Structure 1
Amino acid sequence: MASQGFHGFTKCSCVFTMASQGFHRFTKCSCVFTMASQGFHGFTKCSCVFTMASQGFHGFTKCSCVFTMASQGFHGFTKCSCVFTMASQGFHGFTKCSCVFTMASQGFHGFTKCSCVFTMASQGFHGFTKCSCVFTMASQGFHGFTKCSCVFTMASQGFHGFTKCSCVFTMASQGFHGFTKCSCVFTMASQGFHGFTKCSVCFHDGVSRFPRVH
């Protein structure tokens, strides 16, 4: 069977009742199907339990899919797993999605090994919450960040801002030979740095100094 927005169902199994005129109702159906929708590259290996009448679908419940997806500012999603509700017309919305993805943005070298829990509707993204990433980054006045870990919020357009970042980095500044093995918690926006706060003391030539960068 095929329906609007569906490529087609394969390997469906249903228990149903039937009268001489036609079907009364399907109950406890399980299907593996492929599907494409606006903004999606395509679904693969979906499994759903749903109810169905002879006229069409009542709705999907407790669906689980692995899919690939690309969106503005994203390189691409891989290995996504979502539980969502769905009706025959389209998607009601995604909840409790978990994805590993790569991403690049202005001022960033690139994100690797990101993990996010987010909500999503058929039109696009509602927003990311509780993301954790390890990334590399360079910015004016900095030699480079390595092994940074941040929790941040993000929307489909870009970054809302970083909070509670912790990095080990090397840094040079006016009057200083260089910082080594500094650890700071700082806030950051997509355009650049807001400022460092709660920086630990850094040592150079046996003298403790605080980084003074804004």
Structure 2
Amino acid sequence: MEERAELLDRMTDAFVALDADDRITYLNARAAGVTAGDRDRDDLVGERVWDVFPGVIDTEFRTALERARETGKSTTATIHYEPADRFFETRVYPFDSGVSVYSRDVTEAMHERRELERRESVMHRLHEAISERDATFERKVASLLALGREVLGVESGLLSRVQGDRYRTVVVDDATGEFAEGDVVSLSSTVCERVVSTERSLQASRRRTTPISPSVTGSSRSIE
């Protein structure tokens, strides 16, 4: 028994055993580490799982637990455990007098998956914007600027043209009311001169007092 407990404590998965009344009969060190509170592990034995892990009450774990008991087969659910702000892939295995629950931390994998889904969504919307047949050039640019503002989290997006020493806005998507289509200012009064000369994007850390080139980057009141 001691060897089994030691083995379970060395697991990277959180392990909890429950009886037929949802009371904890055993939990390993990993499971005890994500409980709500700092009670001694031995004191948690005999408590209802919903009291020890209140964050699982409104998750798919309850459904998986009930299904495992009804069918007599193992079930799996991926849940977000809000108290720890972590994602767990939880597997429930039924046996005669209760269930065994194994929970693996999959937080990093979930974040990576969501980031990939976000990027795929952005690329899909980008393709839709530029491939719209009946849209004018200005409408396509406006869609791209709106998408750029959303993705970058900025207040303003502009398409501009630099003609000699003059900077002129062509298409504007601006929530601040500071920019308008057709605005013309001296190129030297902006940070765009450096962008044009180096042909590279530019980020500034100071508060904006002059327009920046939206043909290269979005703008906000405080540029990072």
Higher Cα radius of gyration: 2
**Structure with the larger strand share:** 1
Which one scores higher on RCO, CA 8 angstroms, separation ≥ 6? Answer: 2
TM-score, normalization by structure 1: 0.28
Structure showing the higher helix proportion among its residues: 2
